[in-house]
Amino acid sequence: MPQSRRKQGASRRRPAVNSWRIPNMADLLEGLPIGALILNPELTILAVNREGRRFLGPRSRLPMKQSFPAFWSTLTASDADLIAAQLTRVLRSGHPIASRQQLQMKRTGILVPVEWTCTPSTFGDVTVLMICIRDLSQEMEAKHERDRLAAIAHESPSPMIELDRHGSLLYANPAMISLLSRFGYSLEGFPSVAPAQLMTIIQRCLSTGQILHGQEVMLPKASFSWTFCPVLPHGVVRGYATDMTTVYTTQQALQETATQLGESNQRLDQALEKATESARVKSAFLATVSHELRTPMNGVIGMTSLLMETPLTPEQHSYAETIRQCGEALLQLINDVLECSKIEAGKLELECLDFNLRTTVEQVLAQFAERAETKGIELTGLVHASVPTGLKGDPGRLRQVLTNLVANAVKFTDKGDVALQAYLESDSADTVEVRFEVTDSGMGMSSTTIDKLFRPFVQADSSTTRKYGGTGLGLSISKQLVELMGGQIGVRSIEGQGSTFWCTARFQKQAGSLRAILPSGELAGKRVLIVDDNESNRMILHHLVSGWGMVDDLAEDAESAWQRITEANQRGTPYDLAILDVIMPGKDGLQLARELNSHPERSHTRLVVMTSILQRGHAEQARSSGAMGYLPKPVRHDELRGCLRTVLGMQDDQERTTEQIGSIVPQLVTRHTIAENVEHQHVLVVEDNIVNQKLAVRMVEKLGYRPDVVDNGQEALVALAKGRYAAILMDCQMPLMDGFETTRIIREREASDTGSSSALPGSDSRPGNTGGHDDIRHSPIETHRHIPIIAVTANAMQGDRERCLAAGMDDYLSKPIKLNELRAALARWTPAPPQKVQATKPMLPPGTTDPAQGIFDHAQMYQNIGSDNELFGQLIRLFLDRYQTMLADIRTALADGNSSAVERSAHTFKGTAGNLCASEVGLIASRLEAVGRLQALHDAPPVYAQLEIEVGRLVQVLESYRNGYPAMTQAAA
């Protein structure tokens, strides 16, 4: 065959070889973990494997049959001609080129480090180039991670070492090298900072494969704690040290501090014992000083009070009044100093008692009514409508704070007015915060003076020529009391324009506590005109009457009042009532009342006059001027409401129960509530001081009792064995036998004596008592008769009252004794003695109060039974015949310890008393009923004793009504 034909045949067969060999080869490259490309001699891409496509992109985007240098230069931003020259040299020389690193731009835009090589290959008679591309990303990351870990060890502040099984040091980081240069090596050739048993530790780690912790090394100037970790595959152990130098130094310092603290605690314990002993001595000293100071003060004040009730010339009366005032001032100073001492010692505790806030505020104002009247200033007070009145707290301490603030206001005010108001600060389900403000129109204070207030012994006027007296303790004590009550205290004042002292206090609320001012269905809609020149008075009266639902207008003088009344009449809406102030500039209230009553068109407006200056004849002048009511200032809520209801002709239905029991303070029965045909009660006075004896005897006599006097407890026991006493006034500190020991013996005799009443102390009968009264005294309960013992002591420290009551005494009076306080204490435990025995009970004049109202309301009972005189007498006689039996049932139940029977019998007695309108007996019977219901019979004896006293009073009153209601009326006529 010719050569030309062979070449043509060969040329025809070559494409066939390329067509099947190249694809087959590409298939073989698919399994390679690196990218592979096949280039023909023209440097055109013939094939790419899977890994190559990962680098270069999907098949659809690869430039197949295109120039590789141009394509690669695009991806790597390299020179295409240089790449083509390198690949051509490979084809010509047949030697692969050295690896070159390039950065390939992926389709995501991220630069990827790669390594590529070019190797010539021959397939048959065809030479091709194989490009291999390897991704260096993971390799470089691994290198970076290795470098990072090596840097951790290199840069770590903690020493690290690596040792082989022979203890040779293979590696030490810079921290360890620093220690080696500082502390060197031991004689065995090991680092001095390493544990002494290093070889043993290495062998143990490699043999057990366990990590060893807490290998301590203690050097003079350094301390370390080592942890050794075995690396079994390499047969080495790595050690990690923690510098414990600071820790051990701190521990040593703490140990030294603990030792010093222990020594300090011992010294403090010794100091505390000394301080405790000092406090005890101080407390005893204060108690002694209190007793020694109060004892002579008792004589000074008491005797002065008695002296002032005797006939005296005006000059003598002035001297006596000066003595009394000085004594009261000295007593107040003693009380303030003792109060400060108690607060400073943390001995002051607040009580939690039910009280009526409005009553407390009114009582505070009542104390200063006379003083304000003397100075010619207006004194007003108001508990705003939103404030609950039934609260739980310490009313005595609250009264003390308010008294101090009002006293200061009255003291520093020469003209104008003083107002005490209570506002609702915050309210919750169980508690309430009340804000009290005392505002005066006095001299005011500068900011410098305000900054000094509320400090002990600091006064607004502290000059040697100061006009006002006082110790400067009142505000300091008030501040501490207010803070104990969970509140704050402060003042706002402008010099020359008056001051406003304020304080807050937090109280618990009684169940069902009502607001201070409640709407009145009877007064609602009534039109009233308030005429007063004082703005505070007008504001107080406005809040009260508008709170009751009345429609009010205000006038500041007589002329404007006349104009308003005229305008109201012209509109056809005249005033039902007008409240007039007596003292006003220009035309006063009485003159205005006379003019109104003399005018036919205005005379139908009913008038009530009020005055802050009580003068003899004012009431008669008010009556002659046509006024139907006359009230003193500061006005009381209940008094004003009752007066308005009476003046408007409304039926008095026992003050409808718009307020619950306990939140209304009932009118007190006067000292003239007497029980007729009852002889004087005997009172035993146990007192060793001759001055106090004279004082007590005279006071007891003035109250209508017959006193007996003994000097000590032993003589008191002898007197009790000889005679019967209604009560005992017991001094606590006496020679031979003090009051506590005497009380203990008396109570033991009462509890253990089972003989007849004649064998008991005080079993003698009083003359004039027969029949039922003898039966009561000689009944079984009389064998255990409870004699009321009233402690009378000069001690007034915290806990003295509780100690007396715990010793068995029933009541407590602190010296100096005041006549009213003694009267109230005896009235709580004994029947009131008579002032004058009368054969019949006269009818009371209209508008006055029956002195027996609290014991027996005959008018209400007579009305309740429909004015049936026969039934009235039957009910009275039935009770007089049966009350002893009902009392005996209660005594029997108490003796048997039968709570249910006590409750049932007391309930029966309460119902009977209710039918008789005997409110006091009913109240005490309800208390005894509650004792039985609660099964608290240990509280029953004093309650029952009080019940007997009130029943005795009731019986004495009912004897006058035995023949019926009209009989008393006729006798009075």
pLDDT of 424: 92
Summarize the confidence of residues 9-16 as an average pLDDT.
43
pLDDT of 680: 55
In angstroms, rounded to a whole number, what is the distance separating the alpha carbons of residues 565 and 119? 128
Most confident of 265-279, 337-351, 402-416: 402-416
In angstroms, rounded to a whole number, what is the distance separating the alpha carbons of residues 248 and 253? 8
Q: Which of 463, 480, 509 is the last residue of a domain?
A: 509
Convert the pLDDT of each residue in 258-317 to its tens digit. 989 988 898 998 888 888 777 777 766 766 666 667 677 777 777 887 788 788 887 888
Can you give the CATH number for the domain in which 917 is found?
1.20.120.160
What band does 832 get if pLDDT is binned at 50, 70 and 90? low
pLDDT of 141: 85
Q: Per the domain annotation, does 310 fall within a domain?
A: yes
Q: Please state at what angle helix 558-571 crosses helix 589-598, rounded to 10 degrees.
A: 30
| Nearest partner of 125 among 37, 39, 18, 219, judged by Cα | 18
Convert the pLDDT of each residue in 842-882 to its tens digit. 333 333 344 455 678 877 777 655 565 766 777 787 788 87
The strand pair at 727-731 and 682-686 is best described as parallel
In angstroms, rounded to a whole number, what is the distance separating the alpha carbons of residues 437 and 501? 6
| Residue 257 predicted with pLDDT over 80 | yes
C-alpha dihedral, 938 to 942 to 948 to 950, nearest 10°: -130
Kindly state whether residues 503 and 600 are assigned to the same domain: no
| Residue 676 predicted with pLDDT over 80 | no
Tokens of 383: 């508990």
Q: Per the domain annotation, does 148 fall within a domain?
A: no
Determine if the peptide bond prior to 634 is cis (ω within 30°). Answer: yes
Kindly state whether residues 276 and 367 are assigned to the same domain: no
| Residue 406 predicted with pLDDT over 80 | yes
Can you give the CATH number for the domain in which 605 is found?
3.40.50.2300
In angstroms, rounded to a whole number, what is the distance separating the alpha carbons of residues 164 and 179? 20
| Residue 946 predicted with pLDDT over 70 | yes
Question: 73 or 782, which is more confident?
Answer: 73
Summarize the confidence of residues 655-659 as an average pLDDT.
38
Burial of 569 (0-12, 13-18, 19+ CB in 10 A): middle
Q: Please state at what angle helix 965-972 crosses helix 869-896, rounded to 10 degrees.
A: 120
Summarize the confidence of residues 509-517 as an average pLDDT.
80
- The 8 Å CB, 24+ separation contacts for 738-745 are 738/713, 739/686, 739/713, 739/791, 739/793, 739/807, 739/809, 740/803, 740/804, 740/807, 741/713, 742/686, 742/713, 742/716, 742/717, 743/789, 743/807, 743/808, 743/809, 744/807, 744/808, 745/713, 745/717
Most confident of 6-15, 618-627, 657-666: 618-627
pLDDT of 717: 92
* 935 Cβ neighbours under 8 A, 6+ residues apart: 899
Kindly state whether residues 360 and 503 are assigned to the same domain: yes
pLDDT of 438: 94
Of 15-19, 647-651, 938-942, the range with the lowest mean pLDDT is 15-19
Q: How far is CA 625 from CA 456, 567, 619, 622, 647, in A?
A: 52, 23, 10, 5, 15
Kindly state whether residues 617 and 546 are assigned to the same domain: yes
Question: 596 near 529, Cβ under 8 Å?
Answer: no
Q: Per the domain annotation, does 835 fall within a domain?
A: no
Tokens of 719: 């007197």
Q: Per the domain annotation, does 75 fall within a domain?
A: yes
Kindly state whether residues 355 and 414 are assigned to the same domain: yes
Summarize the confidence of residues 20-37 as an average pLDDT.
71
Q: Which of 326, 348, 370 is the last residue of a domain?
A: 348
Kindly state whether residues 343 and 206 are assigned to the same domain: yes
Kindly state whether residues 808 and 691 are assigned to the same domain: yes
Can you give the CATH number for the domain in which 388 is found?
3.30.565.10
Summarize the confidence of residues 333-337 as an average pLDDT.
70
Of 465-474, 592-601, 748-757, 785-794, the range with the lowest mean pLDDT is 465-474
| Residue 557 predicted with pLDDT over 60 | yes
Distance, CA of 742 to chain centre = 41
Percent of the chain at pLDDT exceeding 90: 10
Total structural domains in the chain? Answer: 6
Summarize the confidence of residues 335-348 as an average pLDDT.
65
Question: 333 near 727, Cβ under 8 Å?
Answer: no
Question: 291 near 733, Cβ under 8 Å?
Answer: yes
- The 8 Å CB, 24+ separation contacts for 247-256 are 247/223, 248/218, 248/223
pLDDT of 435: 95
pLDDT of 871: 61
Q: Per the domain annotation, does 777 fall within a domain?
A: no
Question: 531 near 558, Cβ under 8 Å?
Answer: yes
pLDDT of 728: 94
What band does 651 get if pLDDT is binned at 50, 70 and 90? very low
Q: Which of 98, 114, 140 is the last residue of a domain?
A: 140
Q: Per the domain annotation, does 771 fall within a domain?
A: no
* 93 Cβ neighbours under 8 A, 6+ residues apart: none
Kindly state whether residues 170 and 310 are assigned to the same domain: yes
| Nearest partner of 416 among 474, 377, 464, judged by Cα | 377
Can you give the CATH number for the domain in which 307 is found?
3.30.450.20
Boundaries of domain holding 294: 156-348
Kindly state whether residues 367 and 501 are assigned to the same domain: yes
Kindly state whether residues 316 and 366 are assigned to the same domain: no
Q: Per the domain annotation, does 223 fall within a domain?
A: yes
What band does 458 get if pLDDT is binned at 50, 70 and 90? low
Phi, psi of 641 (to 5 degrees): -65, -45
Provide the residue count of the chain.
973
Convert the pLDDT of each residue in 90-120 to its tens digit. 888 888 886 655 565 555 567 777 788 899 9
Classify the phi-psi angles of 472: left when phi > 0, otherwise alpha if psi is within -120 to 50, otherwise beta.
left
* First CA to last CA distance, the chain: 182
Kindly state whether residues 310 and 381 are assigned to the same domain: no
Q: Per the domain annotation, does 660 fall within a domain?
A: no
Kindly state whether residues 816 and 893 are assigned to the same domain: no
| Residue 521 predicted with pLDDT over 50 | yes
Mean per-residue pLDDT of the chain: 77
In angstroms, rounded to a whole number, what is the distance separating the alpha carbons of residues 673 and 956? 11
